[in-house]
Amino acid sequence: MIRRLIKKEQEGSLEEQVNLVQNGDEELQNQLLKQYQPFIAKSVSEVCKRYIDPSKDDEFSIGLVAFNEAMKSYSSDKGSSFLSFAKLVVKRKVIDYIRNDQNNPVVASLDQEYEEEDQMENPQEVRAAKEQYQQETESWHRRIEIQDFSEKLKLYKLSFQELTEVSPKHRDARESAIKVARTIDEDDELRAFVMEKRKLPMKLLTDKVEVSKKTLERNRKFILAIFIILNEDYVFLKDYIKGVGL
């Protein structure tokens, strides 16, 4: 095993090794995580302004996970070296972790320190790493939204699978259903009814929208799903219905 790992280290650059990790080489992944622990600890200590003990400090664990995430999400197309990208991801993750502790004295100076560091790094690498990190962050938030949306659907006895089956096939039908959901969301009486009963107020609704009861019933599940999105603070899911009366 050791000979194989040494051979892999000799086979190419760190960026090439990271590419092997992305292609499923778990053995090399574990080796790099172990090999770069000093680098991770140093990056974390620069944020925390103190010595970091890999065996005791929670911040190191955060940094280790962040380094692993960096290996999975790194792209050489962005023009940044892997270590520059990984350092940025590790520091960002640790900063996010520290910010959750409002009593931590490091919090007040994080932004200023980070701006100073940006000026010391290669501007192109910093910009590329920040873009990659932003993409990773947005992807994480999108997953969280989808998980929460899935739980909300269950309250209405709905599921993602059902939505794929009942979503209107034609654009005008989808737009009409979305407008109905928007009407419900903006009307206090209709919104309160849906949130309490978990169903459409057919009688009330037919008096306020120019859509037949038959059509409302046919698109009932889709309308309820869109209502949930409108009623919740879903930044990314709302992009799905962006531009349709919003």
Domain total for the chain? 2
pTM over 0.75: no
Domain boundary among 123, 146, 169: 146
Q: Is residue 164 part of a domain?
A: yes
For residues 81 and 101, is the Cβ–Cβ distance under 8 A?
no
Q: Is residue 188 part of a domain?
A: yes
Of 113, 146, 179, which closes a domain? 146
pLDDT of residue 136: 65
**Full residue range of the structural domain in which residue 69 is found:** 36-146
Distance CA 56, CA 142 (A): 32
| Residue that is written with structure tokens 């409302």 in the block | 216
Each of the 246 residues of the chain gets a pLDDT tens digit; together they read: 333 433 444 445 888 899 999 999 999 999 999 999 988 998 898 888 888 888 888 999 999 999 999 999 888 776 678 888 888 889 888 888 887 765 555 444 444 445 444 444 556 666 666 676 567 667 767 777 888 898 889 999 999 888 888 888 888 899 999 999 999 999 999 999 999 999 999 999 998 999 999 999 999 999 999 999 998 878 788 876 665 444
Let me know whether 186 and 135 are in one domain.
no
- List the one residue out of 100, 89, 109 whose CA is nearest residue 48: 109
